[in-house]
């Protein structure tokens, strides 16, 4: 597991819509080790998604650099370029509804010629079984429940064997229990297929439950407010949520997150008043 | 779409910024106003093709008078009283037919949407009459109404009426139940419900009906004037065709187009005044 | 509002809702009769914050509509301070799921609407009162804006103001914070808690978010799968005033676990009967194998 070291150096992003400069990210320095699960928490509009988009190659930087395994993947000079080594699982999902689950999963490796159709199918079946979706391979995405779709998407991302998995609030729309079971599935999958994970969420509990490291962002401009290592051993299951150490971490971080949420809220109201 | 365009043209723009000032300036302008530049280029190409259609032998276009002749003809026409009388007549007919459509269509629509009895009484009739294109009414209208003027206004009215009616019914019957409930809880009576909830909640749909209805009104007035009238822009257009004045035909077409555009813009302005809470979209 | 609220002792001016043996049915499109609420009884005590939670589609909203008087019961009664509820009224005001501020009225006009249609005061008086209330809700600068021009959090506060200007006996809230992001939602919960702790207006609040339920509630009424009945009542003994720090307390975690287990047992049973909620069923089973 030497693949997937992600580093951010003095990352800065200024948006310039209609000449009104908005500083979205400022001075972001962060190192994510190979195989590390890094959860990013912060108020709406703090630049979390911008940062994820920059890693994914959907967005250019204004200053600074992002490196993946020593290779620069984003600077102000080069234009943005997505790559198969960084795969995004979106908030709202992006399965092709007119194709079967199996096609959705295997299209990547087959089209790139990394696997034969048969290989891909075998591999896909194995992965689907792992996430409790045995027998769903020939269904259409719309025949699946919300939680099942999320799992298919994560499987689709994993089968491409990216160096980094980028997740943008993937469990946002799910109810509490389904969400917590999805989180357990994700952790289990990552034990079998270790990946560096860049995970964005609004939910502090989710961040602490999943993350090896939790990064709290300030409200706009997005800067790193605090980085906490979660020293709760993996594998974790939901019992962790009521453990003293977990509650201790949650208490410590919730004050920080709360302050930032408050600031973002007040700034938002002030901005609207103008 | 926008991000795609930016991403694609970014590499070419970056070196340009460091290059020769003049060409860099042009390239930067093209980069910024890509849509404008392409649009203008297409228009210029079109007019060139039109102008030189005959020497170039472009089929179809070569049968039409070239733009230079159209400009000359428009000068003649615009300085004649005939043209302005025609404009005036058409606009009057539009105003009358369109206003009648609002005055009759909106209340009937509101009644149908809020009263089940009214709906089931009127709905069957509208369903039979509505699919008939207003133009198909022209002969009956000529027989039925005492003057040609009235027939023309009637056709315009019909064109706008259905769309106004349907939009009003649609808007008033899809009001979010929670608005009604909130208003009831807060102590509203039936009049309050109508005045403060139903009417404003339907207004955006009424405005949509007005905008679309105005477009149809112009179609109808032109068709009706061609057949049933001896004044107006539609009549003038047909007349020009019959006396083989090709350039004048084009001028009339353009005039009708411009009039339609201006009246739609005006209606849009009125619509924004009627629905100030809606923003500019 | 301020003067009266501060003068009265907590909960004194507010009402008590008793739902007893209420049943509500309806016919679906195929003409089949469908039971939404069945023999449901519970008490929303004067000056307490009662939260209804239940699996999705269990009839929570129907129950709220019944209390608000938008629909009638087939059997049983809903009483406000001993008087049968017969229709909608300003003594029980509802704050809706997605915001129901009238989009065509400014914030001030929205807040003034209730007193205006009831004609209890002159317009200048009403406008002054509404303006003062909006000031207190931090919306003073936004009183001439349309709801579209407000953020989600502001709209919810505007709606609270529109209800509270009428000094209702009971506040009914049907998932009012749905659609807000998690952090804004948390802030709005704190806001509502502070407001409640000041006024002690009897509140019935529906939600499907368990964290929200426990944070707000004095008493948690857990509803069964459809048709809605009361499956359990949990007294939330977290001290008031509530602070977000309590979300990290062991007692909070315990209450959450207890409520979640009740809820998902209901959801799993609902799946057995109707096939709805496959996700939840699967999650529940997995949890129990793991346990």
Strands A213-217 and C170-174: unpaired
Per-residue pLDDT of chain B (281 residues), as tens digits, is 344 333 333 344 444 444 456 777 777 777 778 888 899 999 999 999 988 888 888 888 788 888 888 888 888 888 889 899 999 999 999 999 999 999 999 999 999 998 889 999 999 999 999 999 999 999 999 999 999 999 999 999 999 999 999 999 999 999 988 899 999 999 999 999 999 999 999 999 999 999 999 999 999 999 999 988 889 999 999 999 999 888 899 999 999 999 999 999 999 999 999 999 987 54
- How confident is the model over B2-23, as pLDDT tens digits? 443 333 333 444 444 444 567 7
**Contact residues, chain B, for C147 at CB < 8 Å:** 277
Domain spans, chain B: 2-64, 75-274
Q: Which of B256, B175, B268, B252 is nearest to B217 (CA)?
A: B256
**Contact residues, chain C, for B271 at CB < 8 Å:** none
Whether residues C110 and C223 fall in one domain: no
Whether residues C228 and C174 fall in one domain: yes
- How confident is the model over A149-164, as pLDDT tens digits? 888 999 998 888 889 9
Residue where a domain stops, chosen among C215, C234, C249: C249
Supply the mean pLDDT for chain C. 85
Judge whether residue A56 has pLDDT over 60: yes
Whether residues C219 and C154 fall in one domain: no
What the block records as the tokens of B183 is 């208003």
Q: Which of C58, C135, C153, C182 to mutate to test the interface with A (most CBs of A within 10 A)?
A: C182
DSSP string, C65-117: HHHHTSS--SEEEEEETTEE--S--TTEEEE-SS--S-TTS-HHHHHHHHHHH
What residues of chain C have any CB closer than 8 angstroms to a CB in chain A?
Answer: 56, 138, 141-142, 149-151, 153-154, 181-184, 186-187, 208-211, 244-245, 247-250, 253-254, 257, 260, 263-264, 267, 278-280, 282-284, 286-287, 290
Among chain C residues, CA nearest to B178: C100
Q: Residue A190: phi, psi to the nearest 5? A: -75, -20
Q: In chain A, what are the helix, strand and coil shares in percent, each to the nearest 5?
A: 40, 25, 35
Whether residues C245 and C127 fall in one domain: no
Alpha-carbon distance C156 to nearest alpha carbon in chain B (angstroms)? 14
B10 Cβ under 8 Å from any chain A Cβ:
yes
Q: Which of C72, C90, C103 to mutate to test the interface with B (most CBs of B within 10 A)?
A: C103
Cross-chain CB nearest to C117 (options B176, B187, B276): B187
- How confident is the model over C105-125, as pLDDT tens digits? 999 999 999 999 998 899 999
The neighbours of chain B, by the rule of 3 or more Cβ pairs under 8 Å, are: A, C
Among chain C residues, CA nearest to A205: C248
Cross-chain CB nearest to A202 (options C138, C181, C250): C181
In whole angstroms, give the CA distance from residue A187 to residue A194.
Answer: 10
Q: Give, in degrees to the nearest 5, the angle at Cα B157 between B155 and B162.
A: 105
Whether residues C50 and C194 fall in one domain: yes
Q: Which of C251, C220, C280, C282 is nearest to C57 (CA)?
A: C280
Query: How far lies C95's CA from each of C90, C138, C149, C163, C174, in Å?
Result: 12, 18, 19, 7, 6
pLDDT score recorded for residue C260: 82
Q: Cα B89 to the chain's mean position, in Å?
A: 18
Record: contact B176-C104, CB cut-off 8 A: no
pLDDT score recorded for residue C12: 54
In whole angstroms, give the CA distance from residue C254 to residue B242.
Answer: 90
Residue where a domain stops, chosen among C167, C182, C211: C167
pLDDT score recorded for residue A1: 52
**Contact residues, chain A, for C184 at CB < 8 Å:** 44, 261, 265
Q: For the CA atoms of chain C, what is the radius of gyration?
A: 20
pLDDT score recorded for residue C275: 60
DSSP string, B153-189: HHHHHHHHHHHHHHHHHHHHHT--HHHHHHHHHTT--
Q: In chain B, what are the helix, strand and coil shares in percent, each to the nearest 5?
A: 85, 0, 15
Judge whether residue C2 has pLDDT over 60: no
Q: Is C142 helix (H, G, I), strand (E, B) or coil?
A: helix
Alpha-carbon distance B10 to nearest alpha carbon in chain A (angstroms)? 7
- What mean pLDDT is predicted for residues A218-224? 88
pLDDT over 90 percentage in chain B: 64
Q: Is B71 helix (H, G, I), strand (E, B) or coil?
A: helix
Range name among A104-118, B155-169, C122-136, C210-224 with the lowest pLDDT average: A104-118
Q: Which of B1, B7, B9, B18 to mutate to test the interface with A (most CBs of A within 10 A)?
A: B7
**Contact residues, chain A, for C135 at CB < 8 Å:** none
Whether residues C82 and C123 fall in one domain: no
Whether residues C25 and C83 fall in one domain: yes
- What mean pLDDT is predicted for residues A96-109? 90
Among chain C residues, CA nearest to B183: C114
pLDDT score recorded for residue A188: 87
In whole angstroms, give the CA distance from residue C256 to residue C239.
Answer: 16
The neighbours of chain C, by the rule of 3 or more Cβ pairs under 8 Å, are: A, B
- How confident is the model over B28-68, as pLDDT tens digits? 777 778 888 899 999 999 999 988 888 888 888 788 888 88
Residue where a domain stops, chosen among C230, C249, C268: C249
Record: contact A58-B11, CB cut-off 8 A: no
Q: What is the largest CA-CA distance in chain B?
A: 77
- Taking the CA of residue A40 as centre, how many other CA atoms within 13 Å lie in the half-sphere pointing to its CB? 29
A179 burial (CB, 10 Å; 0-12 / 13-18 / 19+) is: buried
Q: Residue C9: phi, psi to the nearest 5? A: -75, 155
Q: Do the domain assignments include residue C280?
A: no
Alpha-carbon distance C78 to nearest alpha carbon in chain B (angstroms)? 16
Alpha-carbon distance A191 to nearest alpha carbon in chain C (angstroms)? 17
Supply the mean pLDDT for chain A. 87
Contact yes or no for A231/A70 (Cβ under 8 A): no
B4 Cβ under 8 Å from any chain A Cβ:
no
Give the pLDDT band (50/70/90) at residue C281.
Answer: low
**Contact residues, chain A, for C183 at CB < 8 Å:** 43-44, 202, 257, 261, 264-265
B131 Cβ under 8 Å from any chain C Cβ:
no
Record: contact C210-A176, CB cut-off 8 A: yes
Q: Which of B175, B178, B182, B274 to mutate to test the interface with C (most CBs of C within 10 A)?
A: B182
Give the pLDDT band (50/70/90) at residue C287.
Answer: low
Q: Looking at chain A from residue 212 to 231, which residues have their Cβ under 8 Å from any Cβ of chain C? A: none
Question: A with C: how many residue pairs have Cβ under 8 Å apart?
Answer: 92
A58 Cβ under 8 Å from any chain B Cβ:
yes
Record: contact B10-A58, CB cut-off 8 A: no
What the block records as the tokens of B65 is 């008078």
Record: contact A254-C244, CB cut-off 8 A: yes
Q: Looking at chain A from residue 146 to 165, which residues have their Cβ under 8 Å from any Cβ of chain B? A: none
Among chain B residues, CA nearest to A60: B7
Whether residues C65 and C114 fall in one domain: no
What the block records as the tokens of B152 is 């023309």
Q: Which CATH superfamily is domain B75-274 in?
A: MetI-like (1.10.3720.10)
Whether residues C203 and C237 fall in one domain: yes
Q: Do the domain assignments include residue C75?
A: yes
Q: Render the burial of C208-240: b for 16+ CB within 10 Å, e for the rest.
A: bbbbbbbbbbbbbbbbbbbbbbbbeebebebee
**Contact residues, chain A, for B10 at CB < 8 Å:** 60, 79
pLDDT score recorded for residue B4: 39
Among chain B residues, CA nearest to A80: B7
pLDDT score recorded for residue B58: 82
Whether residues C134 and C188 fall in one domain: no
- How confident is the model over A59-91, as pLDDT tens digits? 888 999 999 998 888 888 767 678 778 888 876
Contact yes or no for B65/B73 (Cβ under 8 A): yes
For B134, the enclosing helix (H) or strand (E) is none
Domain that holds residue C34: 2-91+168-249
Strands C75-80 and C219-223: unpaired
Number of residues in chain B = 281
Record: contact A58-B3, CB cut-off 8 A: yes
Judge whether residue A124 has pLDDT over 70: yes
Cross-chain CB nearest to C90 (options B176, B179, B185): B185
Whether residues C234 and C197 fall in one domain: yes
Q: Helices A244-273 & C250-274, crossing angle to 10 degrees?
A: 80
Among chain C residues, CA nearest to A237: C290
For C232, the enclosing helix (H) or strand (E) is strand C230-235
Q: Which of C104, C119, C160 to mutate to test the interface with B (most CBs of B within 10 A)?
A: C104
Contact yes or no for B222/B237 (Cβ under 8 A): yes
Q: Do the domain assignments include residue C216?
A: yes
Number of domains in chain C: 2
Judge whether residue C25 has pLDDT over 80: yes
pLDDT score recorded for residue B280: 57
Question: What are the strands of the beta sheet with A213-217, ordered from one edge?
Answer: A86-89, A164-168, A196-201, A37-41, A213-217, A224-229
- How confident is the model over C152-178, as pLDDT tens digits? 888 989 999 999 999 999 999 998 888
In whole angstroms, give the CA distance from residue C287 to residue B189.
Answer: 53
B158 Cβ under 8 Å from any chain C Cβ:
no
Confidence check on the interface: ipTM exceeds 0.95, yes or no: no
Whether residues C139 and C27 fall in one domain: no
B194 Cβ under 8 Å from any chain C Cβ:
no
Record: contact B277-C94, CB cut-off 8 A: no
Q: Which residues are C204's β-sheet partners?
A: C50, C172
**For position C43, which CATH number holds?**
3.40.50.300
**Contact residues, chain B, for A60 at CB < 8 Å:** 10
């Amino acid at each position: 597991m030497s693949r997937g070291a992600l580093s951010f150096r003095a990352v800065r992003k200024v948006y310039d819509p209609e000449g009104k400069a908005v500083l979205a990210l400022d001075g972001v320095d962060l190192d994510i080790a190979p195989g590390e699960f890094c959860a990013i928490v912060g108020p709406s509009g703090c630049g979390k998604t911008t940062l994820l988009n920059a890693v994914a190659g959907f967005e250019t930087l204004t200053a600074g650099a992002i490196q993946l395994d020593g290779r620069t993947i984003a600077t102000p000079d080069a234009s943005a370029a997505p790559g198969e080594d960084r795969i995004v699982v979106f908030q709202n999902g992006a399965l092709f509804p007119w194709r079967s689950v199996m096609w959705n999963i295997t299209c990547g490796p087959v089209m790139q010629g990394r696997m034969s159709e048969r290989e891909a199918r075998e591999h896909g079946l194995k992965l689907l079984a792992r996430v409790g979706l045995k027998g769903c391979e020939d269904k259409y995405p719309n025949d699946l429940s919300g939680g099942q779709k999320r799992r298919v998407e994560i499987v689709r991302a994993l089968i491409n064997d990216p160096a980094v998995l980028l997740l943008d609030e993937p469990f946002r729309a799910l109810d509490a229990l389904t969400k917590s079971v999805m989180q357990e599935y994700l952790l289990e999958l990552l034990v079998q297929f270790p990946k560096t994970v860049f995970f964005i969420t609004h939910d502090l509990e989710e961040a602490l439950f999943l993350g090896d490291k939790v990064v709290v962002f300030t409200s706009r401009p997005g800067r790193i407010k605090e980085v906490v290592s979660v020293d709760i051993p993996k594998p974790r299951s939901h019992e962790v949520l009521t453990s003293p150490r977990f509650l201790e971490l949650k208490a410590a971080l919730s004050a920080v997150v709360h302050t930032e949420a408050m600031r973002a809220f007040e700034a938002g109201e002030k901005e609207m008043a103008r | 779409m926008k991000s795609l365009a930016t991403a694609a043209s970014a590499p070419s723009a970056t070196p340009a910024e460091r290059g020769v000032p003049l060409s860099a300036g042009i390239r930067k302008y093209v980069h910024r106003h890509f849509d404008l530049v392409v649009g203008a280029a297409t228009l210029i190409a079109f007019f060139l093709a039109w102008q030189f259609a005959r020497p170039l032998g472009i089929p179809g276009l070569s049968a039409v008078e070239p733009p230079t002749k159209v400009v000359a003809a428009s000068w003649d026409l615009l300085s004649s009283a005939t043209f302005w009388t025609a404009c005036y007549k058409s606009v009057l007919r539009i105003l009358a037919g369109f206003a009648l459509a609002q005055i009759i269509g909106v209340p009937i629509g509101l009644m149908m949407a809020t009263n089940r009895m009214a709906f089931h009484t009127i709905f069957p009739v509208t369903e039979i009459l509505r699919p008939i294109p207003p133009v198909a009414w022209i002969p009956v209208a000529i027989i039925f109404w005492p003057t040609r003027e009235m027939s023309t206004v009637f056709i315009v009215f019909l064109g706008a009426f259905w769309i106004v009616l349907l939009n009003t019914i649609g808007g008033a019957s899809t009001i979010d139940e929670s608005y009604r409930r909130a208003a009831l809880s807060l102590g509203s009576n039936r009049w309050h419900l109508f005045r403060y909830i139903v009417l404003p909640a339907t207004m955006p749909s009424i405005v949509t009906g007005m905008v679309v209805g105005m477009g149809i009104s112009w179609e109808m007035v032109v068709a009706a004037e061609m057949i049933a009238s001896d004044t107006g822009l539609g009549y003038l257009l047909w007349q020009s065709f019959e006396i083989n004045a090709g350039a004048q035909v084009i001028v009339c077409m353009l005039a009708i187009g411009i009039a339609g555009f201006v009246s739609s813009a005006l209606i849009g302005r009125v619509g924004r005044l009627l629905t100030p809470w809606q923003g500019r979209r | 509002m301020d003067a009266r609220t501060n003068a009265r002792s907590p909960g004194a001016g507010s009402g008590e809702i008793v739902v007893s043996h209420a049943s509500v049915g309806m016919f679906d499109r195929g003409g089949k009769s469908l039971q939404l609420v069945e023999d449901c009884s519970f008490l929303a005590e004067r000056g307490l914050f009662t939260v209804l939670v239940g699996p999705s589609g269990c009839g929570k909203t129907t129950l709220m509509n019944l209390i608000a008087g938008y629909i009638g019961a087939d059997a049983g009664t809903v009483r406000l301070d001993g008087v049968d509820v017969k229709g909608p009224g300003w003594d029980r005001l509802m704050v809706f799921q997605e915001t129901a501020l009238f989009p065509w009225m400014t914030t001030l006009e929205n807040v003034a609407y209730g007193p205006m249609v009831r004609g209890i005061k002159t317009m200048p008086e009403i406008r002054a009162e509404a303006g003062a209330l909006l000031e207190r809700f931090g919306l003073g600068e936004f009183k001439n804006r349309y709801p579209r021009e407000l953020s989600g959090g502001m709209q919810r506060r505007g709606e609270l103001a529109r209800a509270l200007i009428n000094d209702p006996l009971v506040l009914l809230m049907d998932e009012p914070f749905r659609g807000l992001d998690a952090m804004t939602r948390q802030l709005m919960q704190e806001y509502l808690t502070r407001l409640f702790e000041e006024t002690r207006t009897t509140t019935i609040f529906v939600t499907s978010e368990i964290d929200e339920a426990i944070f707000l509630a004095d008493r948690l009424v857990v509803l069964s799968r459809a048709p809605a009945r009361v499956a359990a009542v949990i007294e939330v003994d977290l001290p008031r005033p509530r602070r977000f720090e309590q979300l990290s307390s062991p007692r909070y975690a315990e209450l959450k676990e207890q409520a979640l287990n009740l809820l998902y047992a209901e959801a799993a049973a609902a799946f057995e009967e109707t096939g709805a909620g496959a996700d939840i069923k699967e999650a529940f089973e997995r949890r129990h194998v793991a346990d």
